[in-house]
Structure 1
Amino acid sequence: MGIAFFITLLSLVACNKDSGSDNSNVVPANLTVTAQISEDNSGNVAFVATATNAATYEYDFGNGVYQTVPTGKVTYTYPASGNYTVNVTAKSATGSTIKKSVPVAVTVAQTLVWADEFNTPGAPDPAKWGYDIGNGDNGWGNNELQYYTNRLENAQVSNGTLKITAKKEAFSGRAYTSARLLTKGKFAAKYGKIEARAKLPVGVGTWPAIWMLGANIDQVGWPACGEIDIMEHKGSDLNRIYGTLHYPGRSGGNAHGNTTVISNATTEFNIYTVEWTPTVLKFAVNGKEFHSVNNSNNIPFNHDFFIILNCAMGGGFAGPVDPAFTAATMEVDYIRVYK
């Protein structure tokens, strides 16, 4: 009996050791993930993940944002509308994992935070717009041929639109005049949707632009401040719209950009947009996206930017001006900023 009892005891000890070994290598199983999307268009989505033998859960929200959640329950607020694939990884105490993906379609309502509808005739609203005056000798420009003024002849609101007119005329040593309006010191935005409805000028050598510069440009200079070109067009390449980012390592001819071709840039009003979040900048014409750039802390697009409207002549981008050119106008119906 004594020997039998001893053998039985050894067997029990061995079973206990084997059981402990199995527990130390347990693998999560039966992972389920639910997503409850808020109906108030706030961007809030409540996630619940459960799995057998899971000690923690890692969420990849599908937009470059990650979060580790011990309980599996988390509410995440998406900053922009979109269709996202959420990846959830359940992890055991020893590091074994199981994964599951779920799609979510999120609608985020945006609020208008700043706008100019250009409904008051006369000079552009001085509470919203200032002017860059002069030529490229001021330290800005790309070997362009115009002299920027604050005259009504070059920038005027009438019949519900802002008209920036480039003219062939001798002025302060230059052969052309135009205007460059900016919200610097009056309004700046960090993230949001910036939208402009505009009709572009006709003429080889014209270079209209709707764009933004980092509000810290006076402190860090260009391109360190960052530049967001929502729309550029050159009259020598009719109907091709440029959307571009400039920043250190990707500036000038090496900028991060793309183009799209439309049929009526100079004959009809079109809507030019950039949607800008902490994770991405998306460029679109009439709601059709044609370029996107992932945002991060490694590029300078996470601080305030101001808005610029101008029509340049010639220079490194637009090229030679048609000798027959006399005048051309960019009309802007509105500028709106949503957040």
Structure 2
Amino acid sequence: MLNSFFKNRKHLAVLIALILLISCSSSDGGSNNDAGTMPSNLTVTTEITGKSTENPNGDGSGNVKFNINATNATSYKISFGDGNVQNFTNGIINYTYKTAGTYSYLVTITALNGSNAISTSVTITLSVSTAPIWSDEFNVNGAPNSSKWGFDIGTGNNGWGNNESQYYTNRRDNVIVENGVLKIITKKEDFQGSNYTSARLLTKGKFSIKYGKIEFRAKLPAGGGTWPALWMLGNNIDAVGWPACGEIDIMEHTGNQLNKILGTLHYSGRSGGNADSSSKIISNATTEFHIYSIEWRADFINFYIDNQLFKNFKNSTTLPFNQNFFLIMNCAMGGGLGGAIDPNFASSTFEIDYVRVYN
């Protein structure tokens, strides 16, 4: 009888232990719930303000409403595709894109519950019609606007050249505004000891910008040896020199590699032949106008041709691309990148329709 009692007590103890184990398991399950239940059924719809048949990319405000829903989601994270990421606790998010122009953005949405997450992506295309903070439309015939543009004069042997063959002037023979475009005319002629002349315009001391969108619409010169460029240098170049000041080449092209457009960054450790460069082949670079632009932020610099991304560069605080830069437009002949000059070259014109800078 006593043995039976102890045996039953033993069975009771086992039963109590099992109950406690189940209870603890249930409690642990609560802890697992703290880690989150896996969200599911993630859906996203977008409403671009002012989108219609007449305005398929919206009304230019850049406003988009995201309606997001997911079963068991307690919060959401959205990467808007323009460098910004935000966290939200509800599924209705209004966001305004600010980069002027028409662009497509890959938006990634993540639904979270604790440490559990699911994601999806949508692509939106919209237009932002913000007025530029600085521009030159080249609508007044004659010399370039002296309040906006200065000139580098000479061969560049004083430190800013690149073994090129031209002499830069500010003569009407080499630079003039006519019929709504700025023309940089490169000519074969004997001038001041050089065999070619051209022009190099810059906004140094007149205008500079830190971050934003910089856009040129241009038709490039033809001919072996031509080297047109639309580019930028850091304001502190006189203090720290090149390449420490940083250089952003929005567009470079050489007549010896027709239709190959370069987007390049120079900085300490990555300059000259070791620069960070990408290229894109386009059609009709020397016979039609194209839009060359960058979107420049603290975390990236994106390069575009006709609003199509072809280079993404990751910016950071360790690089010189977090200060004011001024603009430069020029056409060189020969040099390190321009290469051999066609002996039959006589003259070619680099045409810039406008320059626009957006904040």
Report the TM-score range of the alignment, normalised by the length of the smaller protein. 0.7 to 0.9
Aligned equivalent of 2:29, options 15, 22, 25: 22
What residue is the counterpart of 1:251 in the other structure? 271
Distance 2:145 2:244 in 1: 30
Give RMSD over aligned pairs: 3.3
Gap change, CA 1:12 and 1:47, over 3 Å in 2:
same
- The structure whose Rg is larger is 2
* Matched letter for residue 84 of structure 1: L
In the TM superposition, 1:197-212 aligns within 5 A as: 197-212=217-232
Q: Name the SS for the 1:29 alignment partner.
A: coil
What residue is the counterpart of 2:124 in the other structure? 105
Q: CA deviation at 1:304?
A: 2.9
Is the 8 Å Cα contact of residues 63 and 94 (structure 2) preserved in structure 1? no
The reply to whether residue 83 of structure 1 matches residue 105 of structure 2 is: yes
Distance 1:287 1:65 in 2: 20
Distance 1:186 1:67 in 2: 37
Gap change, CA 1:171 and 1:257, over 3 Å in 2:
same
What residue is the counterpart of 1:265 in the other structure? 285
Gap change, CA 1:87 and 1:250, over 3 Å in 2:
farther
What residue is the counterpart of 1:296 in the other structure? 315
Distance 2:73 2:182 in 1: 64
Distance 1:159 1:178 in 2: 20
What residue is the counterpart of 2:236 in the other structure? 216
Unpaired runs of at least 5, structure 1: none
Unpaired runs of at least 5, structure 2: 1-8, 50-58
Q: CA deviation at 1:260?
A: 3.2
Aligned equivalent of 1:176, options 174, 187, 196: 196
What residue is the counterpart of 1:134 in the other structure? 154
Distance 2:73 2:225 in 1: 68
Alignment TM-score, normalising by the size of structure 2: 0.78
What residue is the counterpart of 1:52 in the other structure? 72
Is the 8 Å Cα contact of residues 33 and 100 (structure 1) preserved in structure 2? no
Q: Name the SS for the 1:303 alignment partner.
A: coil
Q: 1:157-176 CA distances to partner (integer Å, 9 max, x unpaired)?
A: 12322121223333333332
Q: Name the SS for the 1:236 alignment partner.
A: helix
Q: Name the SS for the 2:119 alignment partner.
A: strand
The reply to whether residue 275 of structure 1 matches residue 294 of structure 2 is: yes
Bigger shift: 194-203 or 38-47? 38-47
* Matched letter for residue 139 of structure 1: G
Percent of aligned pairs with the same residue? 46
Distance 1:258 1:295 in 2: 13
Q: Name the SS for the 2:352 alignment partner.
A: strand
